[in-house]
Structure 1
Amino acid sequence: MNVSSYFKNIIHRFNQSEFYQNIASLFTGMFISRMVPFVFALAIARLYAPEEFGYFALYLTIASALSIVSTGKYEKAIILVDEAHERKQIISFAQRINSAVNLAALVVVVAIILLIKSEDDQKLNLLLVPFYSYFFSSIQLIRNLYISKKQFRQLSILEIGRAILTGVLQCAFFVFPASGLFLGAVAAQMITFFGFSLKINEASLFRFGKFKPEEKVLAKRYIKFPKFSILSEVMNFISSQLPIFLFKPFFGDKMLGLYSFSHRYISTPVQLLSVSISSVYIQNAKSLNENPDTLANSTFSLFRKQVILGIIPFTILGFWGEQIFSLIFGAEWAFSGYLAQLISPWLFFVMLGSPLSAILIVKEKQHVSMWYNILMLIARATSLLIGGLILKDVVSTIVLYSFTGLVFFAFLTIYSLFLAGVNLKHAILYLLKMMLLIVPFAVIKIWLLK
């Protein structure tokens, strides 16, 4: 079969598959929502200094960490239930936890602000942390409700609206340099939540009081989510955000800002694909869980398409990231592009493994995910400490950190394929064959260096 026939066959199968049409529908909306930050980045890179972007990354990291525990991870259980009344009870239970956790966090934050001395802008950023956590977690409940009901168009609209609001408000608040980025993000989350919660019967603004008996029954049924998933995601989050906390003491605010800018905007397409694919794949895997052969074939087909979709863009980024960033964002951000080159192999395997890992939820392997993330945190922390304390070089540190991520996400990809029943030999051989496409780009790179 020649190349033309091969791609025509792929397009034909795509047009005949509801599964891939759902991915395409969600991908289109998610693509637009993820392109919006790129557009606004052109303005943000000129309105804010790297140091101010570093402050934003720090407080966003703290707020995102708090949001991991805000709902007890019960938002994932929404996807696994089919009955409307059960979804409503899970959402109600999760919102009660969300309200209580972030109210307690707000009390702690106010106490900290009263006790410590800091700049007013930093006090505002700290005060905003529980609000971002609450509204972000609430939106996650709405997102998973849409996924459970296969309302991917509504999910796309939500993501596009939130992205546009975030960009507009972050640009509008540039008059508050130290807090404008985070203030814009919080305001966007709040407006998005209120706008969409009014359209959903299952969503509520605030939940207090005692848990209902039927809510307790469902909470016990899905106890693995708070039991394993909270710790698992905390470990995963910390390991992925370790550079945010360690770059400042090791390499200073500017390097923190340059890395944060690089990771944020290069990981955006990865997040786009991961969210689009995993949101549809988890529904498909749940329905095919009792049909192993069909699940295996569907998963292997998805894996092949992921490889085709990612191999060329990440190869180009890996060879010419510095030039691309310099051209798009300006010479000031050229080093961010160089860092993007270093992390591109890792992010390629994130693109492969992250969506497929949804099979761990379907197979209820939360304990495996927990231990995986614990080990990855240890390995990543070790790589950053070696880079910062021994090598004392930012490039070497990023190389070590990226390589560690590559190894772990390659394993996650293989394990997910194994759980889905895919023939691992066929999958690995296919990946190696497709990686031959890198050779022509390597030749061009070497030729240009002469």
Structure 2
Amino acid sequence: MNNTPLLENAGIMTRVKKFFFGKTFIRNVLVLTGGTAFAQLLVVAVSPLLTRMYGPDDFGTLAVYASLLSVLAVIASLRYELAILLPEKEEDAANIMVLSLLTLVGMTALTGTFVWMFGDVLVQWVNAPALGPYLWLLPCSVFGVGLYQILNYWSVRKREFGRVAATKVRQSTTQVITQIACGLMAWRPLGLLLGDAIGRIGGSGTLARNVLRTDRESLRAVCGARMKQMAVRYKRFPLLTSFSSLFNSAGLQLPPLLLVAFFGTQIGGFYALVQRVVGAPMTMVGQSVAQVFFGESARLARENPKELKKLYFKAAGKLLLFGGIPIGLLALIAPWAFELIFGDAWKEAGVYIQIMAPGFIAQFVVVPLSQTLNMLERQGIQLAWDIFRFVVIIGGLVLSSVLKLPAREAIIIYGAGMFVCYVVLFFLSARAVIQHFRKGIQHEQHQE
């Protein structure tokens, strides 16, 4: 009996199993992205219902609110939460976590003061008067998002990826239930805003209870003097990374604000649906991969720079495979599919997906790897890139307005700028990884 085909099939299955489950990194990515993917599928699944409860103007208002929140959320704890992954000692990481929480309280108070004093001016500037009565949600959301980020990074450090994945599902479930319930009561646009705010906070209680139950020994080591030491040790995060993250978030979140300001809330609503159906799921999956990658790469940077180099390029290749094909296929049918699924008024949003597909693919590949420069403490390069991306993206949209270009042409300029900027970041990060690898080799040779 010829067993060759059987052996070949077994060999193929072994390679497939190794590809997906052979290493801890891949298993952790699959756990975290599995929960995230399910959560985002839930959001996408109810979108056809929501687009019949809420109009493009309502989604445009949501886009403005989400953009403001995202810009503020990245500096909610001045990026100290990223440093939670770096110390070798659990006690030091616990001090950074508490330091991040105290910073979050202060930043939330500042946000509330700003909204109280300048809320009316802000609403006029972004051309979204419907948002005015609901700006009080902004500081509440900043605290909720910041709290979740801090507890999330602690859980990633502890490799509790299953628990984090469960909270992602809880967030999306809470969000869609709130938005549907408010839509049935015709609370427009409050329902979209309230659902977004509640959804972002969801899961924090679960993570907090777990920390208090399992990490009390580490928390007992928290003290003012040690927190001060950690604040100084990782000062590059608030001094450089926070500014870098602010420019990064502004480059991502100002476009919907500018689209609303330059072209009206309807165009902003089309863009918001694109982000909801494609951008948000892609970003959340990318962030899940990024958290695993950051945790694993931080360990490899200390212990095995050679493996860090392999991990970087292998992760990039797999992201290109798993992101490029679905996004490309979606772009082919997007206008027809959006008109069929979401209604006649939303066909233009499908055209936007076709225009932005190359930029979305580049974003999907690079965003999960985007903390590489911060992890290697090359924050200066990261800051320079974030400023570069901000100038390219925002400058392109402002130029479109000055030249009085149609909205579609503005989206073309925006999509092209996205693609170029993410390709540049990929090669900057790759160069830093290779330099770190060479430095590790030189260190080993010196010890010999």
Q: Does the pair score TM above 0.5?
A: yes
Give the aligned partner of residue 420 of structure 1: 433
2:386 aligned with 1:373, yes or no?
yes
Once the 2 structures are TM-superposed, how far is the Cα of residue 4 of structure 1 from its aligned partner?
12
2:141 aligned with 1:135, yes or no?
no
In the TM superposition, 1:274-423 aligns within 5 A as 274-289=286-301, 290-421=303-434
> Aligned partners of 2:279 and 2:22: how far apart in 1?
31
> Aligned partners of 1:196 and 1:284: how far apart in 2?
21
Once the 2 structures are TM-superposed, how far is the Cα of residue 150 of structure 1 from its aligned partner?
0.7
Once the 2 structures are TM-superposed, how far is the Cα of residue 147 of structure 1 from its aligned partner?
0.8
AA aligned opposite 2:211: I
Contact 1:121 1:179 in 2 (8 A): no
> Aligned partners of 1:38 and 1:18: how far apart in 2?
30
Give the aligned partner of residue 280 of structure 2: 268
Once the 2 structures are TM-superposed, how far is the Cα of residue 373 of structure 1 from its aligned partner?
0.7
Deviations 1:212-236 (A, max 9, x none): 1211100111111111111111111
Q: How many percent identity over aligned positions? A: 21
Deviations 1:7-35 (A, max 9, x none): 86344333322221111111111111111
Secondary structure class of the residue paired with 1:81: coil
Once the 2 structures are TM-superposed, how far is the Cα of residue 317 of structure 1 from its aligned partner?
2.3
Structure 1 stretch displaced more, 253-262 or 35-44: 35-44
2:110 aligned with 1:101, yes or no?
no
Give the aligned partner of residue 188 of structure 1: 199
Contact 2:68 2:253 in 1 (8 A): no
Q: CA RMSD in A?
A: 2.8
Secondary structure class of the residue paired with 1:70: coil
> Aligned partners of 1:178 and 1:276: how far apart in 2?
29
In the TM superposition, 1:1-40 aligns within 5 A as 9-40=15-46
2:92 aligned with 1:86, yes or no?
yes
Give me the TM-score of the superposition, normalised by structure 2: 0.86
Give the aligned partner of residue 176 of structure 1: 187
> Aligned partners of 1:230 and 1:241: how far apart in 2?
16
Contact 1:92 1:203 in 2 (8 A): no
> Aligned partners of 1:3 and 1:362: how far apart in 2?
40
AA aligned opposite 2:401: G
Once the 2 structures are TM-superposed, how far is the Cα of residue 88 of structure 1 from its aligned partner?
2.0
> Aligned partners of 2:75 and 2:247: how far apart in 1?
12
AA aligned opposite 1:350: Q
> Aligned partners of 2:306 and 2:122: how far apart in 1?
60
Q: Cα 1:401–1:68, aligned 2, differ >3 Å: closer, same or farther?
A: same
AA aligned opposite 1:32: F
Secondary structure class of the residue paired with 1:420: helix
Q: Cα 1:277–1:68, aligned 2, differ >3 Å: closer, same or farther?
A: closer
Give the aligned partner of residue 440 of structure 2: none
Give the aligned partner of residue 448 of structure 1: none
Once the 2 structures are TM-superposed, how far is the Cα of residue 366 of structure 1 from its aligned partner?
1.3
Contact 2:81 2:153 in 1 (8 A): yes
Contact 1:295 1:421 in 2 (8 A): no
Contact 1:248 1:256 in 2 (8 A): yes
> Aligned partners of 2:208 and 2:268: how far apart in 1?
36
User: 226, 234, 243: which is aligned to 2:238?
Assistant: 226
User: 161, 171, 175: which is aligned to 1:162?
Assistant: 171
> Aligned partners of 2:11 and 2:333: how far apart in 1?
31
Give the aligned partner of residue 147 of structure 1: 156
Deviations 1:306-326 (A, max 9, x none): 222122112212322212222
Deviations 1:177-234 (A, max 9, x none): 0222112222334453334423322999xxxxxx812111001111111111111111
Q: Point out where structure 2 has 5 or more consecutive residues left out of the alignment.
A: 1-7, 217-222, 436-448
Contact 1:238 1:377 in 2 (8 A): yes
Q: Cα 1:298–1:110, aligned 2, differ >3 Å: closer, same or farther?
A: closer
> Aligned partners of 1:326 and 1:203: how far apart in 2?
51
Aligned pair count? 416
Deviations 1:100-152 (A, max 9, x none): 22123223323446999999964431111100001110000011111111110
Contact 2:167 2:206 in 1 (8 A): no
Secondary structure class of the residue paired with 1:406: helix
Q: Cα 1:70–1:272, aligned 2, differ >3 Å: closer, same or farther?
A: closer
> Aligned partners of 1:321 and 1:98: how far apart in 2?
40
AA aligned opposite 1:348: I
> Aligned partners of 1:101 and 1:270: how far apart in 2?
28
Contact 1:353 1:416 in 2 (8 A): no
> Aligned partners of 2:258 and 2:123: how far apart in 1?
23
Contact 1:66 1:133 in 2 (8 A): yes
> Aligned partners of 1:163 and 1:281: how far apart in 2?
23
User: 33, 57, 63: which is aligned to 2:63?
Assistant: 57
Q: Point out where structure 1 has 5 or more consecutive residues left out of the alignment.
A: 205-210, 423-450
Give me the TM-score of the superposition, normalised by structure 1: 0.85
Contact 2:67 2:254 in 1 (8 A): no
Give the aligned partner of residue 3 of structure 2: none
